[in-house]
C-alpha cells in the first residue's frame, strides 16, 4: 500500500492480480491490472510505489518483471528480469 500527495491510496490485491485505488477517505476510485502474462497484466503483484512522475511502479512476481503504469494510459512500460542472474534482459514499452 502507498499513499500519494494527490490524495490517493494504492493497494496491491495479490489474489486478483490488480491494484485498487482509494481516496484518503476510503472511497473506492477504481482498479487496474488483471491476471495474466501480457504486458498490461499482472501475475502476483507484491509491492507498489509511486515515482515522482505519479507513475505506479509494481513488482510482478510471477512474470519476473517490474512494471510501471503510466498514469495517463492503461499501458505499462516494464522491465523483465532474468531470475537466474538478477539483471534486466529487456525493456518493453
> Which structural domains are found in the chain, ordered by start?
2-92 (2.40.10)
Count CA atoms within 13 Å of residue 74 on its CB side.
Answer: 9
Distance CA 82, CA 79 (A): 10
**What is the distance between the terminal CA atoms of the chain, rounded to a whole angstrom?**
25
Evaluated on CA atoms 3, 26, 73, 93, the torsion sign reads positive
Give the list of residues 6+ apart from residue 1 with CB closer than 8 angstroms, or none. Answer: 9, 10, 11, 12, 48
The pLDDT tens digits for 33-75 are: 899 988 778 999 999 998 888 888 888 888 888 888 765 444 5
pLDDT (0 to 100) of residue 78: 53
Residue with cell 472511497: 27
Amino acid at each position: 500500500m502507498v499513499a500519494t500527495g494527490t490524495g490517493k491510496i494504492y493497494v496491491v490485491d495479490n489474489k486478483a492480480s490488480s491494484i485498487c485505488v482509494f481516496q484518503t477517505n476510503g472511497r473506492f476510485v477504481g482498479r487496474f491490472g488483471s491476471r495474466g502474462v501480457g504486458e498490461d497484466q499482472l501475475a502476483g503483484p507484491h509491492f507498489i510505489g509511486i515515482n515522482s512522475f505519479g507513475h505506479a511502479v509494481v513488482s510482478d512476481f510471477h512474470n519476473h518483471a517490474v512494471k510501471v503504469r503510466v498514469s495517463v494510459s492503461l499501458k505499462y512500460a516494464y522491465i523483465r528480469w532474468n531470475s537466474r542472474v538478477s539483471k534486466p534482459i529487456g525493456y518493453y514499452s
